[in-house]
Amino acid sequence: MIRKTTIKDVAKEAGVSIGTVSYVINNSAPVSADTQKKIVSAIKKLGYHPSSIAQGMAKRRTNLIGLAVPQNHIGAFSDYMMLDLLRGIADVVTSRKFHLILDFQENEKNNCSYMEMYNSKTIDGMILMSPRRFDRNFEKLIDAQFPFVILNSSIQQPSCCCVDVDNVHCGYLATKHLFELGHRRIGFIAPDDLQYYFSFDRMEGYRRAYLEAGIAIDEDLVQVPPKGKMGAGAFAVNKLLGLAEPPTAIIAGSHCILESALTELKRREIGIGKDLGLIGIDNSPLCTWVKPQIDAVAIPVYEIGKEAAEMVIDQIEKGPSSPRRIILPGVLIKRESAVSV
Amino acid sequence: MIRKTTIKDVAKEAGVSIGTVSYVINNSAPVSADTQKKIVSAIKKLGYHPSSIAQGMAKRRTNLIGLAVPQNHIGAFSDYMMLDLLRGIADVVTSRKFHLILDFQENEKNNCSYMEMYNSKTIDGMILMSPRRFDRNFEKLIDAQFPFVILNSSIQQPSCCCVDVDNVHCGYLATKHLFELGHRRIGFIAPDDLQYYFSFDRMEGYRRAYLEAGIAIDEDLVQVPPKGKMGAGAFAVNKLLGLAEPPTAIIAGSHCILESALTELKRREIGIGKDLGLIGIDNSPLCTWVKPQIDAVAIPVYEIGKEAAEMVIDQIEKGPSSPRRIILPGVLIKRESAVSV
DNA sequence: CTGAAAGCGCTTACAG
DNA sequence: CTGAAAGCGCTTACAG
């Protein structure tokens, strides 16, 4: 590795002190046009770039943001959304002159690797994706007034900054859409055994739509299949279709549910979009790869990433603020699977 | 933000010099059992963690690896593979006590943001995903003997470390598989207008299988549809099926090609897996979401990530080595779409 | 085995 | 407007 040029080299080349060089780099003090010019051309000539870590040392600011990604985020963000989220975060992080450090949580143990980034003072702030419910590590961050925001975990933690999608509204949107198409008996398949808030919230939205419509819910219509990625949707579909009075439409409460429900529906050769309406919460490539294409409520993942990043960086730059919460609405995408009846 | 405890605090608490504290932390000099104990307990008592950036400053090592992700990597890695790649990289980066900085290339301009990470001395090494063909920025990295590896770009750059999948072999595998099922007239749809090496290589593998089988290739069977994400596969499918003597099986040269070929095949109600064999190069969720499930040659994305990470870190820790290349084989996954004939 | 001191490459009061 | 100097939190020869 070749030795890199430092601020000293620039100072010598321009015949000034390193302090003055620093002033023009940071524009942090008035400098005469003349010396300014000398310094600028010295910088150019030597191809000088300040060392971010030396700057970090002196300014007590690394300009690094950590993103903690849970090992299996069965939650609202499936793999298919992860990249969009990253792009959302990266876009603002970059434009605000920060860098993003990715940290995948390794194991199921309580020891959270994201705390290591914090402890070692590597990062100025952190975005915490779907921390586990029993995870209380981040309380240390609160105590330390360390800038961070929690993503996608409608945690009842009023002292944290959060950004999330409005899951209740997502459930409501899907249900309302089906109502408007004339459906009255709508099946709802809840994801993840109701183990997460988002799951519960989506179901809640379903209930609100019914309430608003003034129709009593037949509880047989809401299915909470036992946990387990595989087959939960299929299981629930069979329950629903086995009812004395089966639903005319079904809401799949998550991408995973949709996947397995769809498989079963196709296996049974049910006429989706003809004999049965279908809509998913979570939009994924699956929805358009399949015939008929599936209506869905899309999670604004990119925007969630953006907002989260803005939020941490605001905290870093403007100092701690009172905890903010941003709740973004889901977006209904009409396609071919939610027949009118 | 609360003031963090430093090495000075520990030294004072233990009644020793900061040098000695440093020795026990880094195990870089013999220390008597007694002082060792005092220091360890002081560290524990104060909850001290060294500042990674101060260490970086002193050791001239940040323990940060940059990953440059192109804006649209139409290349061999689709979005569906990206997460696996990240996991592969992250797993070894983490276990080797480094951190990963993500850098999405912003624009089509020649100015490559990844050079910024290098210039600012933020990172110790870099993984460069599918650099554009005209990108010559990384030559500066070579000159500076900066540790980096190029991913997924069979660039004819003998002076770089690279890791990639063996695309020729992928094409070969797919074709061979079809041969073994009795097919003799196999259509090949080349991705991305042959603009990338990987695309060309996959086609090359197809040709080799034919050569090996001693069968002359009917050039009508190899389609190079005009570029453009949408419809290229559909376009080629129609060409192929319109032939006087149409193929009995088709190879989709990439995930994108498969997606649009599949759509067209379904629209025309062709009996995939019955009347026509189909196999994709690139394995993606699409292959299992669809009925019949699609045979595919999988790219070992996770492993590619791992190897790449090991390679940069080796360079960082052991100093520059002669350029290494790792070419991993694709993996044939048999499913339901490649009928025997 | 341990301490004092220089140095890593910057920034920033403080003088002048 | 500019320079000299202290300081950011560590590591590492160098003495002893």
Q: What is the predicted pLDDT for the residue at A76?
A: 44
Residues with CB under 7 A from strand C: A 3-4, 6-8, 18-19, 21-23, 25-26, 28, 48, 50-51, 54-55, 57-59; B 15-20, 23, 29-32, 34-36, 57-58, 60
Whether pLDDT at A269 is above 90: yes
Q: What is the predicted pLDDT for the residue at B75?
A: 47
Q: What is the predicted pLDDT for the residue at B79?
A: 72
- Burial readout A202-219 (b: 16 or more C-beta within 10 A, e: otherwise): bbbbbbbbbeeeeeeeee
Beta-bridged to residue B162, according to DSSP, are B150, B325
Instruction: Quick: pLDDT tens for A54-111.
Output: 999 999 999 999 999 887 654 445 677 888 899 999 999 999 999 999 998 866 554 5
d(CA B338, CA B276): 8
Please name the residue of chain A whose CA is at the shortest distance from the CA of residue B320: A1
The C-alpha of A104 sits at a distance from chain B's nearest C-alpha, in angstroms, of 7
Top pLDDT among A4 and A258 is at A258
Beta-bridged to residue A187, according to DSSP, are A250
The C-alpha of B281 sits at a distance from chain A's nearest C-alpha, in angstroms, of 17
C10 C1' to B54 CA distance, Å: 12
The C-alpha of A125 sits at a distance from chain B's nearest C-alpha, in angstroms, of 11
Query: Which nucleotide has the least CA–C1' distance to B33?
Result: C1
In degrees, to the nearest 5, what angle opens at C-alpha B286 toward C-alphas B282 and B291?
120
Strand C nucleotides, any atom under 7 Å to a protein CB = 1-5, 7-13
Q: What is the predicted pLDDT for the residue at B105?
A: 80
Q: What is the predicted pLDDT for the residue at A125?
A: 96
Whole-number percent of chain A with pLDDT over 90: 70
**B226 alpha carbon, distance to own chain's centre:** 26
Beta carbons of B101 and A102 less than 8 Å apart: yes
Measured between CB atoms, which of B104, B113, B145 is closest to A2?
B145
Cβ neighbours of B71 in A, within 8 Å = none
Whether pLDDT at A236 is above 80: yes
In chain B, domain spans: 7-50, 64-164+301-327, 167-299
Beta carbons of B121 and A4 less than 8 Å apart: yes
The C-alpha of A216 sits at a distance from chain B's nearest C-alpha, in angstroms, of 35
Average pLDDT over residues A8-23: 95
Smallest CA-to-CA distance from B250 within B199, B186, B298 is with: B186
pLDDT along chain B (341 residues), means of 10: 86 94 94 93 95 95 93 59 89 94 73 86 92 76 91 72 94 97 96 79 96 96 82 93 97 92 92 96 89 95 96 91 90 95 82
Q: What is the predicted pLDDT for the residue at A59?
A: 94
- Architecture of the structural domain at B7-50: Orthogonal Bundle (1.10)
How does the average pLDDT of chain A come out, rounded? 90
Strands A295-298 and B222-223, by their bridges, are: unpaired
Q: What is the predicted pLDDT for the residue at A223?
A: 95
Beta carbons of B266 and A90 less than 8 Å apart: no
Phi, psi at A280, each rounded to 5° = -110, 150
Cβ neighbours of B82 in A, within 8 Å = 82-83
Cβ neighbours of A262 in B, within 8 Å = 289
The residue among B99, B113, B260, B283 with the most chain A CBs within 10 A of its CB, best to mutate, is B99
- Architecture of the structural domain at A64-166+301-328: 3-Layer(aba) Sandwich (3.40)
D15 C1' to B36 CA distance, Å: 22
The residue among B9, B120, B137 with the most chain A CBs within 10 A of its CB, best to mutate, is B120
Instruction: Quick: pLDDT tens for A276-317.
Output: 999 999 998 889 888 899 999 999 999 999 999 999 999 999
Q: What is the predicted pLDDT for the residue at A291?
A: 84
Beta carbons of A57 and B62 less than 8 Å apart: no
d(CA A290, CA B276): 19
Cβ neighbours of A56 in B, within 8 Å = 53
Strand D nucleotides, any atom under 7 Å to a protein CB = 1-5, 7-13
Cβ neighbours of B53 in A, within 8 Å = 53, 56-57, 62, 121-122
Beta carbons of B101 and A106 less than 8 Å apart: no
The answer as to CATH 3.40.50.720 being correct for domain B64-164+301-327 is: no
Q: What is the predicted pLDDT for the residue at B110?
A: 46
d(CA A82, CA B318): 34
Please name the residue of chain A whose CA is at the shortest distance from the CA of residue B88: A104
Cβ neighbours of B83 in A, within 8 Å = 79, 82-83
Query: Is residue A156 within 8 Å of residue A325, measured between CB atoms?
Result: no
CB pairs under 8 A between A and B: 119
The residue among B52, B69, B302 with the most chain A CBs within 10 A of its CB, best to mutate, is B52
Query: Is residue B88 within 8 Å of residue B121, measured between CB atoms?
Result: no
Cβ neighbours of B269 in A, within 8 Å = none
Q: What is the predicted pLDDT for the residue at B230?
A: 65
Please name the residue of chain B whose CA is at the shortest distance from the CA of residue A62: B53
Q: What is the predicted pLDDT for the residue at A23?
A: 96
First-residue to last-residue Cα distance in chain B:
71
Same-fold call for A64-166+301-328 versus A167-299: yes
Per DSSP, the residues of A60-114 read T---EEEEEE-S---SS--HHHHHHHHHHHHHHHHHTT-EEEEEE---SSS--TH
Measured between CB atoms, which of B1, B64, B289 is closest to A289?
B289
Beta carbons of A80 and B79 less than 8 Å apart: yes
C16 C1' to A14 CA distance, Å: 22
Please name the residue of chain A whose CA is at the shortest distance from the CA of residue B121: A51
Please name the residue of chain A whose CA is at the shortest distance from the CA of residue B69: A87
Cβ neighbours of A312 in B, within 8 Å = none
Phi, psi at A261, each rounded to 5° = -65, -45
Cα distances from B289 to residues A208, A307, B292, in angstroms, run 32, 33, 9
C12 C1' to A22 CA distance, Å: 10
Query: Which nucleotide has the least CA–C1' distance to A29?
Result: D1
Q: How confident is the model at residue A14 (pLDDT cuts 50, 70, 90)?
A: very high
D9 C1' to B195 CA distance, Å: 51
First-residue to last-residue Cα distance in chain A:
71
Supply A187's token pair: 């099946």
Query: Is residue A85 within 8 Å of residue A302, measured between CB atoms?
Result: yes
Strands B148-151 and B186-189, by their bridges, are: unpaired
Instruction: Quick: pLDDT tens for A184-206.
Output: 999 999 987 777 778 889 999 99
Please name the residue of chain B whose CA is at the shortest distance from the CA of residue A293: B263
Axis crossing angle, helix B18-26 with helix B7-14, rounded to the nearest 10: 110
Cβ neighbours of B102 in A, within 8 Å = 86, 90, 99-102
The answer as to CATH 3.40.50.2300 being correct for domain B167-299 is: yes
d(CA B212, CA A6): 59
Q: How confident is the model at residue A154 (pLDDT cuts 50, 70, 90)?
A: low
Which bin fits B152, alpha (ψ -120 to 50), beta or left (φ > 0)?
A: left
- The number of residues making up chain B comes to 341
Cα distances from A56 to residues A49, A51, A161, B122, B197, in angstroms, run 14, 8, 25, 10, 41
Query: Is residue A164 within 8 Å of residue A328, measured between CB atoms?
Result: yes
CB under 8 Å to B297, separation ≥6 — which residues?
B170, B173, B174, B279, B280, B281, B282, B283, B330, B331, B332, B333
Please state whether the predicted TM-score (pTM) of the whole model is above 0.85: yes
Beta carbons of A290 and B285 less than 8 Å apart: no
